[in-house]
Amino acid sequence: MPSSIDSVALTALLVKKQENPYLGKGSFVCKHIYGDMYVMHDTLIIREIDFFKKGMSAMDTIEAIKTRRSVRKVSDREPSKELIEQILDAARRAPNHMNTEPWHFIVLTGEGRNKLGEVYGKVNQKNLENADQAALEAAYEKGLSSAKRAPVIIVVTMEPSDNPRAFEIEDIEATAIATQNLMLAAHALGLGSILRTGGAAYTKEAKEQFGVSEKGHIIGFVYLGYPAEGVVPKVPERQSVAEITEWVDA
């Protein structure tokens, strides 16, 4: 099985080998057994796989997790709205205590990315000391450019539940899990992504720009796009399982 199929596709049943109208020749449409969601594959090499004979195993999910990488360089080709909606559908299925569903997603495309660029620009200017007008303008333009590094940016925000039994930290955790779902789904559908945060994400300017309350949080900015040709993301070194695990059996 291809290594880049994730849990979104693992629980899918092949409806029929039909051409996908959104992604073109050779792609398949799968119906999710938990709802009316369709999983469309373009760059994944799955056209010769017989889903009914070979089935799908948990190993596919593990391989997807292992092979996902932060992709910093993507092409200008903009993923379709339908593709982004599938990715968001995967995100909203994240576990969340008390079913608070604290997440919200703001999809920026085209000139809409300037909403984030303006935040970057203002924060850049704010961080300058004794700057002249030329430096201020350059800092602002740099901010605008920073938001043009991918054709799609998804701003992930979280608002704490008013349920007295819910905990804010759990809402933050749930939204972080939703973000991971989002990025794994993007990987499964042939897209590259990277989660960008940094100081700008936690500023008053960012909250005001994206309508986040004083108690809410911006979890991060997910940059999405088709990986640039020839880009091979680096594989970071990780601690071994033994180094991060403690077994207690008595």
Q: What is the 3-state secondary structure (H, E, C) of the chain?
A: CCCCCCHHHHCEEEEECCCECCCECCCCEEEECCCCCEEECCCCCCCCCCHHHHCCCHHHHHHHHHHCCECCCECCCCCCHHHHHHHHHHHCCCCCHHHCCCEEEEEEEHHHHHHHHHHHHHHHHHCCCCCCHHHHHHHHHHHHHHCCCCCEEEEEEECCCCCCCCCHHHHHHHHHHHHHHHHHHHHHCCCEEEEECCHHHHCHHHHHHCCCCCCCEEEEEEEEECECCCCCCCCCCCCCHHHHCCCCCC
Question: CB-hemisphere CA count at 13 Å for 76?
Answer: 2
**Span 230-249, pLDDT tens digits:** 888 888 899 999 999 999 99
25 pLDDT band, cuts 50/70/90, is very low
Confidence of residue 62 (pLDDT cuts 50, 70, 90): confident
Maximum C-alpha span of the chain: 69
pLDDT at site 18: 40
Beta bridge mates, 13: 31
Over 80: is that where the pLDDT of 86 sits? yes
Residue 199 backbone dihedrals phi, psi, to 5 degrees = -55, -35
How far separated are the first and last CA of the chain, in Å rounded? Answer: 40
**Would you say the C-alpha torsion 129, 135, 137, 138 has a positive or negative sign?**
negative
Q: Delineate the domains of the chain, giving CATH numbers in brackets.
A: 1-67 (no CATH), 69-244 (3.40.109.10)
Q: What is the pLDDT of residue 59?
A: 52
What tens digit of pLDDT does each residue of 160-176 get?
999 999 999 999 999 99
Q: Average model confidence (pLDDT) for the chain?
A: 82
Q: Say if residues 167 and 97 touch (Cβ distance below 8 Å).
A: yes
Q: Is 143 exposed, middle or buried (0-12, 13-18, 19+ CB in 10 A)?
A: buried
* pLDDT tens-digit readout, 196-237: 999 999 999 999 999 999 999 999 999 999 999 988 888 889
Please check the confidence at residue 19 and state whether its pLDDT lies above 90: no
